[in-house]
Amino acid sequence: MTDLSQIAKALKKKYTSSRIAESEKDKLEYISTGNIAFDLISDGGIPFGFSTEFLGLSQSGKSLYIQQIIANAQSKYDAVGILADRENAYSKPMGEKLGINNSNLLVAKPADIPTPYDGFSFIIDSIKLVRQHFKDRYIVVGLDSVSAFSKDVDLAKSDSGRKAKAIHEGMRELLTYIDDKIAIVIANQVTYKISISWGDPKTSTAGESLKYYSTMRFSLEERRLIVDPAQNNEVVGAWLGIECMKTRLGPCHRACYLPVFYESGIDPYGGYARLLAHRGYLKPKNKKEFNSFKTVLLQYGDETVNEFKMESFLEKHPELLFESYPEFNPNYTVTIEEEEDEN
């Protein structure tokens, strides 16, 4: 076998990060999203060492998830949080409710980071200073969002793609500071092209730049409001649809649905029943109604399952609590009733 150790040692004098690939960590470290189904479709959550993009319309949960990921990284890894809050979406009380340690979070508000250059400069300067004081500390960075940055020209003038170019340059610079103990999470907004008669009218801020620099990209979409009949049909939350549009770490286009509640936030078990149904381990009592979020009842053998009571159900059936994305159930069979529901 060829011994590259001497070559790698010589290269390291000039290229300090160069090494033999065999010396790479066997297992990546991930920050949990706070939801089992979301963690499974992403093979573990949000990875350290890479950049992740959340893409969605307003009220699709982008800011919520960035803040939840900061909280989870602080809880498990004692990570320093860095938040470029260009949307002014962060509040101390809500952050604490999600589990964020505010004494371990650096925040820049909109007035301090008006342009992409300012936002990326804040993030890079923060990373450098944290590394000076805490060499091996985990760091989680949130940028919320690239869409909210101002132009660096007069408002009356066209920017001619200057913002997209600035974000492209900012990401190119930021990548050089990402090590295996830094996670970057970026929110981006879905916008629409005007006067489009064919093709997909959806687009996003920053052109194609974030698509190339992001190791993982998730589409977030509000699918249906959740109402509580016991409270006179008050809206208490929303179902979100999440798709992994891109990942360099596993299969793309896995998807899940999960509920977000306005009072309690992200439910760890929310949407897990739907993932199990999709993989053939549970059967909706009425598939058509279930797919339109109009019923919460499923079947496991002769047992009826309420998707909002999955924690107690899984205590009785630990065989259904998967540690990785489940293979499709080979014993699954389509019943006549299901075929009728489909039709």
pLDDT bin (cut points 50, 70, 90) of residue 157 is: low
**Residues contacting residue 37 through CB under 8 Å, at least 6 positions apart:** 256, 257, 258, 270, 271, 272, 274, 275
d(CA 200, CA 214) in angstroms, rounded, equals 21
User: 128 forms bridges with which residues in the sheet?
Assistant: none
Cα–Cα nearest to 40, from 343, 206, 256, 342: 256
66: three-class secondary structure by DSSP: helix
Please give the angle made by the CA atoms of 101, 102 and 106, to the nearest 5 degrees: 120
Q: Which of these, 100, 145, 91, 139, lies nearest to 119 by C-alpha position?
A: 145
**Average pLDDT over the chain, rounded to an integer:** 90
The predicted pLDDT at position 339 comes to 53
- The pLDDT of residue 341 is 54
Window from 26-30, 184-188, 192-196, 256-260 with minimum mean pLDDT: 192-196
* Structural domains of the chain, with CATH: 28-268 (3.40.50.300), 283-342 (no CATH)
**In angstroms, rounded to a whole number, what is the distance separating the alpha carbons of residues 106 and 81?**
6
Return the higher-pLDDT residue of 280 and 150.
280
pLDDT band at 22 (very low <50, low <70, confident <90, very high): confident
The one-letter amino acid code at 123 reads I
| pLDDT bucket at 156, cuts 50 / 70 / 90 | low
**What is the per-residue pLDDT for 127?**
98
Residue 197: exposure state from Cβ atoms within 10 A (0-12, 13-18, ≥19)? exposed
- What is the value of pTM for the model shown? 0.89
In order, the DSSP letters of 279-322 are TTSSEESSHHHHHTTS--EEEETTEEEEGGGHHHHHHH-GGG--
Pairing between strand 46-47 and 30-31?
antiparallel
Q: What is the pLDDT of residue 183?
A: 98
pLDDT digits over 297-311, tens only?
Answer: 999 999 999 999 999
Q: How confident is the model at residue 107 (pLDDT cuts 50, 70, 90)?
A: very high
CA dihedral 256→262→266→268, nearest 10 degrees, is -90
> Is a pLDDT exceeding 80 seen at residue 194?
no
Instruction: Give CA–CA dist 321/268, Å, rounded.
Output: 12
Any bridge partners for residue 255, and if so which?
243
Cβ neighbours, 10 Å, residue 239: 18
pLDDT at residue number 158: 57
